Chains A and B, each alone.
Chain A
């Protein structure tokens, strides 16, 4: 498979990589965010076809300086995206193509996350649901924003006494957060009290942080979380908060988990040990389209029907981020390079 991989060194460690969504056609441009530089960048890329060998290579369209590490990038529409930073700021930016490609700042929530002693706190993760944005940070605060309003809709201060590391919208009125010790909390946003409706634990034995969260694209109640110890934990939140399966997957911290947006029987995970894995259950779903209440992720540990393939040779540095559109997968790594894998088998 390795001949399908094309790497580009960009002189910055890549913390996030995201496809710019397109309607009905293959996405052809994407964003990267960097970290650990005094001034980081969000860069807008597209593919350019080389005439010599008819291969397409990523080229920069424009680059936008960004204060702090880029901790998350999320598109909320075709050209609007939200970017969060390690100095606690969240920005809503728009990609403008005319007269020349640039980012226009639509809204900026400055220092949304901060410590009492006037110290900024990192905004570690954001999640979006249509126009709604939820942010969590090292200060243990949850902020609820909406894309057309400068003032946060709601702020739950001290929602967690540890720093939170991941967040996901379960539905429009419910978010799930995970903290440094792997405590997972479900927050019902209709409830005015600042207490979680449910709390459960990522892993009972080891105290490890929840690093990444992903829900199934069509069955939102199925949630996968990656742990700091490299494990993947799956819950079916309809039934209870006891994990339906837990796997020792990667050899160190899981950095990101992504379901394939159109083909949810494919799951991708990457880790700080430089591994990139593809979890596929295609045969199973072809036989029975909907196997009722049990999802394949529930049974991976017991039945072992899932194919797990490594998508590339283990890299020497942590892979921080992945994104997938149709048959092209992008990933960014701490070796200051990003990679494109074409024609993945989904």
Chain B
């Protein structure tokens, strides 16, 4: 997607930066650290910096994300639910359109709630905050307006494809002021409404422009000259105006005939000056008959060109289908000289240029909420077909990239990261890899938070994220001197290598201080210790220590058996041999012989292999002596036993 570069330029007010140059590094996910930097290489001259002395600053740049505002977080979370619900129905084979329309309306109701909530906030906010919230209000009002039109044109399935009724509804919904005016006048029930209310004609014409003919008739009936035959004729003409309805029982051609006929009648009445008693009435009737000049005259009663567009369609081309809309829209917009941002988006929508629409809505400064959710809806409707300049269909890439952008923004938030994480799964190409990278870099916190991060990784089968997060947490525990907890994390992540590392720490600490930590934990390891040889050794050695404590009770036999099995098991780490061999001395010297001749041979063999540890040098003679004495003893006893 080659886009026109419209990068934002941010000036850093720092003199050192200005003189030396800049460098920037990412800090976390949506922050950049900017600092002064001058490149030095092997060929640079080794002289004191020309900039010194100076005050060096690191500037922290962060994208402003309005979605993180509490008032808008509701929108973020609630729409996330709708998004995920849409992804769920995607796989069913039924016709998705009616379902999608329901979800589109749900999105709009969320937007509506958000706009209403913002209105409350604006009222309550302090003057310095007010412009900000007013700005948000405009943004989301526009979003809602565009969403509504998109829903009409692309999501809703209109039988017969005649879009006028929905278009009128949309216009009425967004420009309710004149209808409100009319209902106020009607509520007064006066007999000369035009004399009592200066806005009488404005209301009547406003309603006529929105196609609210019933309201217009009620207003006319309250006019001071309502008894005049001109008003009677007008009332009759308006009442009999054919309005196209798909279910009305007429085909489009038939309807057109009837409508043309009615129009002809009315224009002949106008020509015969039937309505000349009241200038406004005559203008109104000329509008209704479809006179373009009058339409433009009344543009003073409209706020946007599309209001006028709806009126023009209503009175001049009531059966227009979507493809014809573009022509009418273009004509009106051009003549109106529509130049507001929203005008462009709406025009592009009407011209069915969705690529342009998406380009435009990306600039709505809502941090991509709108673009991501709307494109997803259209994508699922199958209404999206975007061709880049090389005539390659890039629809799914565009869809994915917009969602990825939005999700990554959320991942940068301390609380909304869970919400953001749930979008990645629905980006088939890059989603999971991106999520993996982001999950690994989320700042950890309490174990509750760590568990939540791991939970997400588990759901998405990212074993390496589980391992790496557990390891980070484990290392933190080691730094805090909590080996037991570090081991727990290693076991939870099933990380054998890390468990070995921690078991080593335990053994080394024992070698140094002669005390085994975290007995309560090691005691209850059970089969978990099999995850690593070192841990198995640690577990067995702990058991040996336990026997050791019961020496006094004459439990030498079990201790001896365990010690010998440890010595021959080949699990012993190198640094631990001296301790194991030292432990053997009292057993060799025990009052009753607890080690058999075979065991003693094993001991002698291990001492030959591993007895060269410097820490053991002072004990080696003692060991040999004890071994020799025990061997003599044991052979003696075994010999006696053999005799029997």
A, B from the same assembly: yes
Q: Which B residues between 409 and 433 are near A, CB-CB below 8 angstroms?
A: 414-415, 418-419, 422
Instruction: Say whether A91 faces chain B, with CB atoms less than 8 Å apart.
Output: no
Query: Is the Cβ of B447 less than 8 Å from the Cβ of A122?
Result: yes
Query: Is the Cβ of B518 less than 8 Å from the Cβ of A317?
Result: no
Instruction: Say whether A318 faces chain B, with CB atoms less than 8 Å apart.
Output: yes
Chain B nearest CB from A184 CB (Å) reads 10
Residues on A with C-beta less than 8 A from B523 are: 199
A115-B482, A117-B481 known; A13 vs B415 contact (CB < 8 Å): yes
Chain B nearest CB from A278 CB (Å) reads 22
Q: Which A residues between 198 and 245 are near B, CB-CB below 8 angstroms?
A: 199, 201, 204-205, 207-209, 228
Instruction: Say whether B3 faces chain A, with CB atoms less than 8 Å apart.
Output: no
A13-B415, A161-B482, A335-B81 known; A201 vs B447 contact (CB < 8 Å): no
Query: Is the Cβ of A162 less than 8 Å from the Cβ of B78?
Result: no
Main secondary structure of the interface of B (DSSP, over half): helix
Number of interface residues of B (CB under 8 A): 44
Interface string of A139-165 (1 = CB under 8 A from B): 010000000000000000000111101
Complex Cα gap A290–B339 (Å): 79
Contact of B520 among A183, A252, A272, A336 (CB under 8 A): A183
Complex Cα gap A37–B415 (Å): 6
Chain B nearest CB from A135 CB (Å) reads 15
Instruction: Say whether A35 faces chain B, with CB atoms less than 8 Å apart.
Output: yes
Residues on A with C-beta less than 8 A from B130 are: none
Closest to B480 in A: A115
Complex Cα gap A117–B481 (Å): 9
Instruction: Say whether A98 faces chain B, with CB atoms less than 8 Å apart.
Output: no
Query: Is the Cβ of A334 less than 8 Å from the Cβ of B418?
Result: yes
Contact of B521 among A37, A183, A334 (CB under 8 A): A183
Closest to A85 in B: B446
Instruction: Say whether B322 faces chain A, with CB atoms less than 8 Å apart.
Output: no
Query: Is the Cβ of B448 less than 8 Å from the Cβ of A162?
Result: no
Contact of B480 among A12, A117, A181, A336 (CB under 8 A): A117
Query: Is the Cβ of A317 less than 8 Å from the Cβ of B485?
Result: no
Query: Is the Cβ of A116 less than 8 Å from the Cβ of B481?
Result: yes
Contact of A335 among B77, B447, B459, B518 (CB under 8 A): B77
Closest to B87 in A: A316
Q: Which B residues between 35 and 66 are near A, CB-CB below 8 angstroms?
A: none
Q: Which B residues between 449 and 505 are near A, CB-CB below 8 angstroms?
A: 449, 451-452, 455, 458-459, 479-485, 488-489, 491-492
Closest to B88 in A: A316
Complex Cα gap A180–B451 (Å): 11
Query: Is the Cβ of A316 less than 8 Å from the Cβ of B71?
Result: no
Query: Is the Cβ of A180 less than 8 Å from the Cβ of B485?
Result: yes
Residues on A with C-beta less than 8 A from B71 are: 11
Residues on B with C-beta less than 8 A from A335 are: 77-78, 80-81, 419
Query: Is the Cβ of B414 less than 8 Å from the Cβ of A38?
Result: yes
Complex Cα gap A71–B449 (Å): 11
Query: Is the Cβ of A207 less than 8 Å from the Cβ of B447?
Result: no
Instruction: Say whether B84 faces chain A, with CB atoms less than 8 Å apart.
Output: yes
Instruction: Say whether B639 faces chain A, with CB atoms less than 8 Å apart.
Output: no
Instruction: Say whether A47 faces chain B, with CB atoms less than 8 Å apart.
Output: no
Instruction: Say whether B526 faces chain A, with CB atoms less than 8 Å apart.
Output: yes
Number of interface residues of A (CB under 8 A): 51
Query: Is the Cβ of A252 less than 8 Å from the Cβ of B458?
Result: yes
Query: Is the Cβ of A181 less than 8 Å from the Cβ of B521?
Result: yes
Query: Is the Cβ of A253 less than 8 Å from the Cβ of B446?
Result: no
Instruction: Say whether A9 faces chain B, with CB atoms less than 8 Å apart.
Output: yes
Contact of B488 among A11, A180, A196, A253 (CB under 8 A): A180
Closest to A86 in B: B446
Complex Cα gap A195–B419 (Å): 43
Complex Cα gap A5–B455 (Å): 26
Residues on A with C-beta less than 8 A from B84 are: 316
Complex Cα gap A207–B489 (Å): 10
Query: Is the Cβ of B70 less than 8 Å from the Cβ of A11?
Result: yes
A180-B447, A316-B81 known; A199 vs B492 contact (CB < 8 Å): no
Chain A nearest CB from B455 CB (Å) reads 5
Residues on B with C-beta less than 8 A from A228 are: 451, 492
Chain B nearest CB from A243 CB (Å) reads 15
Query: Is the Cβ of A162 less than 8 Å from the Cβ of B524?
Result: no
Instruction: Say whether A174 faces chain B, with CB atoms less than 8 Å apart.
Output: no
Residues on B with C-beta less than 8 A from A272 are: 452, 455
Query: Is the Cβ of A116 less than 8 Å from the Cβ of B81?
Result: no
Query: Is the Cβ of A69 less than 8 Å from the Cβ of B77?
Result: no
Q: What would 20 A/B residue contacts be, using CB atoms closer than 8 Å?
A: A9-B77, A12-B415, A69-B448, A115-B480, A117-B479, A117-B480, A138-B485, A161-B483, A179-B488, A181-B492, A199-B520, A209-B451, A228-B492, A316-B81, A317-B418, A317-B419, A318-B452, A334-B418, A336-B73, A336-B77
Residues of A within 8 A of B (CB): 9-13, 15, 35-38, 69, 71, 86, 115-117, 119, 122, 124, 138, 140, 160-163, 165, 179-181, 183, 185, 196, 199, 201, 204-205, 207-209, 228, 252-253, 272, 315-318, 334-337
6 more contacts with CB within 8 A, not counting A122-B448, A252-B458, A335-B81, are A160-B521, A162-B485, A165-B447, A207-B491, A207-B492, A336-B74
Closest 8 pairs (CB-CB, A-B):
A161-B484, A161-B518, A9-B74, A11-B70, A122-B446, A11-B73, A36-B415, A86-B446
